[in-house]
Structure 1
Amino acid sequence: MKVEDEERIAANLSKIMAMICIRNTRLEDLHAGLQPVTLTGDYSDVNVVDGTGRTIPWREVSHLDDQQMADLMREIVERLFTFHMRRDDPSFRDHLDRWMAASNKWDNPVLDKAFLDAVAGLGAPRKA
């Protein structure tokens, strides 16, 4: 297979997986709601006042609690697992084809150097 074809297939697969396995999850709930206005553009002028009266800079506020993060990751893992387990099912593939038109409007991905560096920095797995 040509490198260009391999890259095109990987890009399309990555976009459709991101759309149906990650974007359309609890992540949408986190994205919903009012967005604070920032006049500086970096949110350094935005603060949150919590229930005890503490003023916390926006950039220091945790936007997910541990349970929300666990729920989100569980949902994403289950969707990715389902995607891989059903990828050869013709009716599932028909469903993917309908979503492909929307995901094709996204930018094409590029290799993530920071991710590759982080994985390389992990070294060989330890023996149990």
Structure 2
Amino acid sequence: MKVEDEERIAANLSKIMAMICIRNTRLEDLHAGMQPVTLTGDYSDVRVIDATGQTIPWREVSHVDDAQMADLMREIVNRLFTFHMRRDDPSFRDHLERWMTASNKWDNPVLDTAFLDAVAEPGAAPKTRGA
């Protein structure tokens, strides 16, 4: 198979998996709601006041608690697992074809060099954001 064909297939598969296995999850609930206004463009001018009266800069506020993150990751892993287990099922593939129209409007993916560098580090322990 030509490299261009492999890249096209991988790009399409990546976009459809991102859409149906990640985007349409509890992530949508976390994304919903009011978005604060920033005049600086970097949210350095936005503050959150919690129930105790503590003022926290927006960029330092945790926007997802541990339970929400665990639920989100569990849902994503289950969807990715289901995707892989059903990828050869004709009715599942028909369902994917319908979603492909929407995901094809997204930008094409590019190789994530930071990810590749992190994976290539010999003896490095896996890192998670916020851990």
Alignment match, 1:46: 46
Aligned residues: percent identity? 89
Alignment match, 1:59: 59
What is the DSSP-based 3-state SS (H/G/I as helix, E as strand, rest coil) of the residue aligned with 1:56? strand
Determine the C-alpha separation between the residues in 2 that align with 1:57 and 1:38: 12
TM-score (norm 1): 0.95
- The alpha-carbon deviation at position 124 of structure 1 amounts to 7.8
* Superimposed CA distance per residue, residues 16-53 of structure 1 (whole angstroms, 9 cap, x where no aligned partner): 00000000000000000000000000000000000110
Q: Against the structure 1 CA distance between its residues 54 and 11, is the aligned structure 2 distance closer, same or farther, given a 3 Å change threshold? A: same
Unaligned runs of at least 5 residues, structure 1? none
Q: What is the correspondence of 1:73-112 to structure 2 with a 5 Å cutoff?
A: 73-112=73-112
What is the DSSP-based 3-state SS (H/G/I as helix, E as strand, rest coil) of the residue aligned with 1:20? helix
Determine the C-alpha separation between the residues in 2 that align with 1:121 and 1:21: 28
4+ long deviations beyond 3 Å: 122-125
- The alpha-carbon deviation at position 123 of structure 1 amounts to 3.3
**Amino acid paired to 2:67:** Q
Paired residues in the alignment total 125
Determine the C-alpha separation between the residues in 1 that align with 2:38 and 2:83: 38
Determine the C-alpha separation between the residues in 2 that align with 1:122 and 1:101: 40
Determine the C-alpha separation between the residues in 2 that align with 1:117 and 1:69: 25
The answer to whether structure 1 residue 11 and structure 2 residue 11 are counterparts is yes
